[in-house]
Amino acid sequence: MSGRVFSVILLPTSECNVACDYCFERKEPHRLSSALLPLLTRRLLDHLENERIEECEIYWQGGEAMIMGPSWFADAGAVMDRAAAQRGRRFVHYLQTNLISYSAAWNDVIREMFNGSLGTSMDYPNLHRKLFKGGAEGYTELWTRRLREAKAAGIQVGVIAVLHQGSLEAGPDRFYRYFTEELGLSDFQVNTPFPGGPAKEVEGGFQLDLTELAQFLVKLFNIWITRGYKSGVSLGPFDALIDHFTGKQARLPCIWKENCSNQFISVDSKGTVAQCDCWVTSYPDYFFGNIFREPDLTRMLKTSRARRDFVERPKRLVEDEDCLSCRYLSICHGGCPVRTYSALGTMMAKDPYCEVYKAVFACAEAHGREILRRDQQGRAPAQSDVGLAQSYAKAR
């Protein structure tokens, strides 16, 4: 059995209970049928068997996943886990939700199926996440209440924040204090926005000045290093970058993987298979197939013409772009295909956030070097230890 892990971003519904400005998903009133779940599970397990993979991570998203209700999840988890155990495999479940429908009724399933944790999203300031009635202000108020209820119930909550112009104007200090002091979070991450999905009038408003964005992220990185790094605050993706630059095993985000096509797929409630949730909800030309109609997921992934572009993309980038000469190639590999496609109409180019990433990487490298230098003080490496000597030379 290999040590590889395969991940599936599973969208049990495309429905959503809120109306965020920048959402790129097609919201359809469609839900994954309990009757089809065993078939979906069988197809995934067949694929794991074909690929000799023992563990599959299921990232439950939407639409809004909580629309399915806690008992649906409890049943779905039991069906999937039982089938996996019978075949010597294992599913590990994660939940990403907007929290709006959270109540105490979810606590048992969150503890049992999701290991007592969930992921949610909030921006600062919140201008674009909106309730159908109540707008952004109502959303913030309700979401904050739900967050406190979940935390009071002992649930570990990680938050994703998408940056927008208002975040840049508020500045990194207020941004950081909002999440750590006002919300009391010790685990959050920042994402860059991208204009996914069919063209919308509002998209232009989410394009940020790259220099301003880079400056914001670097300052935020510095603030986190000063106030949060040693105090148990996890701020992604900075924490993973610090792990990388201090020689630890790092779990970098999917946008910087060697090749995301090797590691995950997304499946929607109708069985559509695509690279990730962004593709499955937005770009029909890049669907790989349908997991219910095609009996062999492994074969689908191997033969899909649409998937070939994802597989070939990193190769093309080192041939055609300047990625090969970039000193950060090992932690970027040209960045995110969907960010590239949604901005440029092709994925065969490097991520438009290239310069922003480089600024963040350089900042992480400098902090990593400083952390290593401090850690190495008082430790004298053996003269003959070339690996250590080499590391030392690079840390200088």
What is the Cα–Cα distance from 18 to 28, expressed in whole angstroms?
A: 13
- Which of 75, 312 has the CB closer to another protein? 312
Least distance (Å) between residue 256 CB and another protein: 12
Q: Is 370 in the site for another protein (CB under 8 A)?
A: no
Q: How far is CA 199 from its chain centroid?
A: 23
- Which of 65, 371 has the CB closer to another protein? 371
Residues 259-278 interacting with another protein (rule: CB under 8 A)? 259, 262
What is the Cα–Cα distance from 62 to 65, expressed in whole angstroms?
A: 5
- Which of 17, 263 has the CB closer to another protein? 263
Interface segment toward another protein; rule CB under 8 A; list 79-87, 93-101, 189-197, 373-381:
373-381
Q: Is 204 in the site for another protein (CB under 8 A)?
A: no
Contact, 89 vs 124, CB < 8 A? no
Interface residue with another protein among 62, 70, 289, 314 (CB under 8 A) is 314
AA letter at 83: A
Give the contacts of 334 (CB within 8 A, at least 6 positions apart): 313, 314, 317, 318, 321, 323, 340, 350, 351
Q: Is 238 in the site for another protein (CB under 8 A)?
A: no
Q: Is 390 in the site for another protein (CB under 8 A)?
A: yes
- Which of 107, 259 has the CB closer to another protein? 259
Q: Is 2 in the site for another protein (CB under 8 A)?
A: yes
Q: Is 333 in the site for another protein (CB under 8 A)?
A: yes
Interface segment toward another protein; rule CB under 8 A; list 144-152, 162-170, 213-221, 320-328:
320-328
Least distance (Å) between residue 87 CB and another protein: 16
AA letter at 8: V
Residues 47-86 interacting with another protein (rule: CB under 8 A)? 51-52
- Which of 305, 394 has the CB closer to another protein? 394
Q: Is 346 in the site for another protein (CB under 8 A)?
A: no
Interface segment toward another protein; rule CB under 8 A; list 38-46, 56-64, 163-171, 374-382:
374-382
Q: Is 393 in the site for another protein (CB under 8 A)?
A: yes
- Which of 181, 320 has the CB closer to another protein? 320
Interface residue with another protein among 79, 311, 348, 362 (CB under 8 A) is 311
Interface segment toward another protein; rule CB under 8 A; list 139-147, 282-290, 327-335, 336-344:
327-335
What is the Cα–Cα distance from 2 to 6, expressed in whole angstroms?
A: 11
Q: What is the 3-state secondary structure (H, E, C) of the chain?
A: CEEEEEEEEECCECCCCECCCCCCCCCCCCECCCCCHHHHHHHHHHHHHHCCEEEEEEEECCCCHHHHCHHHHHHHHHHHHHHHHHCCCEEEEEEECCCCCCCHHHHHHHHHHCCCEEEEECCCCCCCCCECCCHHHHHHHHHHHHHHHHHHCCCEEEEEEECCHHHHHHCHHHHHHHHHHHCCCCEEEEECCCCCCCCCHHHHHHCCCHHHHHHHHHHHHHHHHHHCHHHCCEEECHHHHHHHHCCCCCCCCHHHCCCHHHCEEEECCCCEEECCHHHHHHCHHHCCEECCCCCCHHHHHHHCHHHHHHHHHHHHHHHHCCHHHCCCHHHCCCCCHHHHHHHHCCCCCCCCCHHHHHHHHHHHHHHHHHHHHHHHCCCCCCCCCHHHHHHHHHHC
Q: Which two tokens stand for residue 292?
A: 């219910």
Interface segment toward another protein; rule CB under 8 A; list 68-76, 139-147, 348-356, 379-387:
379-387
Interface segment toward another protein; rule CB under 8 A; list 18-26, 151-159, 215-223, 324-332:
324-332
Q: Is 303 in the site for another protein (CB under 8 A)?
A: no
Least distance (Å) between residue 153 CB and another protein: 37
Q: Is 252 in the site for another protein (CB under 8 A)?
A: no
Q: Is 374 in the site for another protein (CB under 8 A)?
A: no
The CB density around residue 248, as the number of other CB atoms within 10 Å, is 10
Q: Is 380 in the site for another protein (CB under 8 A)?
A: yes
Q: Is 319 in the site for another protein (CB under 8 A)?
A: yes
Q: Is 39 in the site for another protein (CB under 8 A)?
A: no
Residues interacting with another protein, by CB under 8 A? 1-4, 51-52, 245, 258-259, 262, 302, 311, 314-316, 318-319, 324-325, 327-331, 333, 365, 368-369, 378, 380-381, 383-384, 386-387, 389-390, 392-396
